Structure 1
Amino acid sequence: MYMTKQAKVVLGAWAWGDNNSYFGNNYDQAHFQEVYDEAIKNGLNFWDTAVAYGNSASETLLGNLMKNTLREELVISTKFTPQMADNSENPIESMFNGSLKRLNTDYIDYYWIHNDADVEKWTPLIIPLLKSGKIKHVGVSNHTLTEIKRVQEILGEAGFKLDAVQNHLSLLDRTSEQAGILDYCKENDITFFAYMVLEQGALTGKYNVDNPFPAGSVRAHVYNNKLPQLTDLINTLHEIGQRHDLSTAQTAMAWALAKGALPIIGVTKVKQVDDAAGVAQSHLTTEEIETLEEVADKAGVNTIGSWEQDMREDK
């Protein structure tokens, strides 16, 4: 029972198990139980995690919460991160088996190669798992268009196809769109998953020059000095959102939906789940989309992470 065609948003667990190091939170399982229950109540069943999130704590938390839900009613996405590979014969299979155990499942709906460390090395190693049927859909994250096409070739030679691409896409980082990756995905029946749509909270309206990110967190280091430049964009998101009965955060999500992307919305609070559920039926006008992009461009804020690349440089 796969609901990818119907899904409008994916719930992200990047901040789960964070222990204050990146996002500035330290929530326990009881806290996430409420978040998970709210999601299921709202019909949101698509979850994205990774071994790299919280050093596997995210997978463990999600796996514990999944125990009382029928597995076929969930869509689960997790990842192989090359930088965390062990020295076994097939590090992808080794990491994959660890994910299965933590997530209390015997298959993964979407399995990703987390970044483009070595396309020629890692892509062939995922093929045995595809042949086993333990992976239902295969994807790549943080790959350029050239690399995506090469992955397609390698998988095609083995009788498989690339199902999904997961890259950074927001009003502040449109390089995947500008590099032609979104168009390529549409032309080749590849689902484009957009992460950091809300820029880790910077586009929610919650944070501003008077209410910055929690001191000491990585988010504070990355975004706090950019908040003055984001004031006009936040105000524009708010103004356009009011026309559609959407919050500032929901309007940023609605923009990603309008681009044809499947947005991954990080959720650590019940309110964030409700926001994600409420945005699925939204429709911004072409003029509103253009206005948001113009204001975002004027902000001149670069949010490409240290682990990422400007996808336009591949052209």
Structure 2
Amino acid sequence: MAHGLFDKTYAAAEDRYDSLAYRRAGDSGLDLPALSFGLWQNFGTDRSPETQREIVLHAFDLGITHFDNADRYGPPHRAAQKFFGTVLARDLAPYRDELILSTKAGNPIGPSPYLKGGSRKSLLTSLDHSLRDLGTDRVDIFYSHSPDLTTPLEETVGALVSAVEQGKALYVGISNYPADRAHEAAELLRRAGVPLLVHQPRYSIFDRSPERDGLLKVAAEDGFGLVVYSPLAQGLLTDKYLADIPAGARAQNSAFLSPDVIDDTYRRRAAALDRIARERGQSLAQLALQWVLRGPEVATALVGASSTWQLDHNVKALDAPALTEEELRLIDEHGVHGTGLKA
């Protein structure tokens, strides 16, 4: 950390619970903020720690209590967790009981066979390391980051159960699991007495996978909430790419967004969605966030931010009136599944 980063004492905003809506996570007793903060991108050692700290603390001041992390986030891997651990120790420690901290394990973080996959060895070792990174004795939610078809699901689920039984996690989740495997995991966890709290899928106007593969239905039936990521489709559901690719934009240097997908078809559909948003007095980003939160299956939408302004702008999406049936029909017409997605 840069010298002087924590010279200023932080005190949380007294009105932080006055505005932001909270939603119940499935059939559990846990409420999550309608918008949660993800440290997937913009929280590596290649970014300004001063700016990162300002954004995180501003998020909490807005009532965002859920901070989503993973052993893989950086660069390098684990950098985002280590950064958050520093902020937790120096700024947010008095508020630890007000925070929902989550982390994930299972996606590759190194060449060793024990640094990837859904084995007990991989998941529980990573969790111990993550607790050290974060400087806390437990996380609130521990996820299996991705399905590992080479490991018995019973073993992966058993590791999640052990994390709770050992007091290292309060709840468990899964991420990127297809609907059928999510249902299997939920059944196994239910039998073990550790219900599945949440599933974290990608979901946006341009990525309807949770609708198409039945995940929304499974979530409702099995009683878990959805914590959706990429609700803005890596920036495609903003006004950033409506005309051209601006200098320094994510599409120029991201492994998750290729400039090849920003074509005439994308621009035509995004422009139509932008017009719908403007007629409602919103930005396209605000419309996209409101859309993913329209149903009860979604407990929260993960947002990142590169500035406090961007965070404020996204939170204002929650102030808009509900989408009408006609607006939803128009969004379906122009929000075609697969738009902007890499093949």
* TM-score, with structure 1 as normaliser: 0.85
- 2-structure distance, mates of 1:277, 1:49: 20
User: Aligned runs of 1:86-97 on 2, under 5 Å?
Assistant: 86=114, 90-97=121-128
Higher mean C-alpha deviation, range 165-174 or range 243-252: 243-252
Alpha-carbon spacing, 1:18–1:236, altered in 2? closer, same or farther (3 Å): farther
| Structure-2 change in CA distance of 1:200 and 1:86 (3 Å) | same
Aligned to 2:168: 134
Given the alignment of the two structures, is residue 269 of structure 1 paired with residue 307 of structure 2, yes or no? Answer: yes
Inter-partner Cα distance in structure 2 for 1:252 and 1:167: 16
CA distance in 1, matches of 2:240, 2:120: 47
Distance in structure 2 (CA, Å) of the matches to 1:196 and 1:250: 13
Aligned twin of 1:257: 293
Contact 1:48 1:77 in 2 (8 A): yes
Residue of structure 2 in register with 1:193 after alignment: 227
- TM alignment of 1:57-96, pairs within 5 A: 57-67=79-89, 68-69=91-92, 70-84=95-109, 86=114, 90-96=121-127
Structure 2: which amino acid aligns with 1:53?
Y
The one-letter code sitting in structure 1 at the alignment partner of 2:176 is N
* Pair 1:37-2:57 in alignment: yes
In the alignment, the residues of structure 1 paired with residue 251 and residue 42 of structure 2 have an alpha-carbon distance, to the nearest angstrom, of 19
Which of the numbers 96, 100, 103 marks the counterpart of 2:134? 103
Task: Go from structure 1 to structure 2 and tell me whether the alpha carbon gap of 1:171 and 1:115 turns closer, same or farther (over 3 Å shift).
Answer: same
Which SS does the other structure have where 2:302 is aligned? strand
Deviation larger for 234-243 or 134-143 = 234-243
User: Distance between the aligned counterparts of 2:199 and 2:303, measured in 1?
Assistant: 16
Moved more, 204-213 or 111-120: 204-213
The 1:264/1:187 distance shift into structure 2, 3 A limit, reads same
CA pair 94-6 structure 1, distance change in 2 beyond 3 A: closer
Amino acid across the alignment from 1:93: L
Indicate the residue corresponding to 2:333 in structure 1.
294
Aligned residues of 1:162 and 1:190 also touching (Cα < 8 A): yes
Amino acid at match of 1:30: E
Preserved contact between residue 80 and residue 112 of structure 1 (Cα < 8 Å) = yes
Change beyond 3 A, Cα 1:220–1:168 = closer
The offset of 1:53, in angstroms, is 1.0
The amino acid that maps onto 1:144 is P
2:45 equivalent to 1:7: no
Deviation at 1:216, TM superposition (A): 4.7
RCO (CA 8 Å, sep 6+): is it higher in 1 or 2?
1
The residue identity in structure 2 corresponding to 1:100 is L
Distance in 2, matches of 1:122 and 1:89, equals 6
Q: TM-score, normalised by structure 2?
A: 0.79
1:8 CA drift (Å): 0.6
- Please list the CA deviations of residues 48-98 of structure 1 after superposition, one character each: whole Å capped at 9, or x if unmatched: 111111111111122222221211121112101243462797321210011
Give the deviation of 1:7 after TM superposition. 1.4
Q: Offset of 1:304 from its aligned partner?
A: 5.7
Q: 3-state SS of the aligned residue for 1:211?
A: coil
Identify the range of structure 1 (226-235 vs 148-157) with the bigger mean alpha-carbon deviation.
226-235
Structure 1: which 4+ aligned runs deviate by more than 6 Å?
none
Q: Percent identity?
A: 25
Q: For residues 18 and 223 of structure 1, what CA distance do their matches in structure 2 show?
A: 23
Q: Return closer, same or farther for 1:233/1:135 CA change in 2, 3 Å cut-off.
A: same
More off after superposition, 159-168 vs 9-18: 9-18
CA pair 159-272 structure 1, distance change in 2 beyond 3 A: same
Equivalents in 1 of 2:211, 2:277: separation in Å?
23
RMSD: 2.5
Distance 2:172 2:280 in 1: 35
Alignment of 1:52 with 2:78, yes or no, is no
Unaligned residue ranges in structure 1 (runs of 5+):
20-25, 306-315
Equivalent residue number for residue 212 of structure 2: 178
Per the TM alignment, residue 232 of structure 1 is displaced from its structure 2 partner at its CA by 2.7
Give the whole-Å Cα distance in 2 for the aligned partners of 1:227 and 1:41. Answer: 38
Counterpart secondary structure, 2:31: coil
Measured in 2, the distance between the counterparts of 1:156 and 1:146 equals: 15
Paired residues, number: 297
More helix by share: 1
Amino acid at match of 2:130: S
Tell me which amino acid in the other structure corresponds to 2:269.
L
Which residue of 1 is the match for residue 27 of structure 2? none
Q: CA deviation at 1:6?
A: 5.0
Contact 1:209 1:227 in 2 (8 A): no
SS in 1 for 2:196: coil
Aligned equivalents of 2:203 and 2:261: distance in 1?
21
1:124 is displaced (CA, Å) by 1.5
Counterpart position of 1:145: 179
- In the alignment, residue 228 of structure 1 is paired with which amino acid? D
Residue 308 of structure 1 is matched in structure 2 by none
Q: Which amino acid aligns with 1:218?
A: S
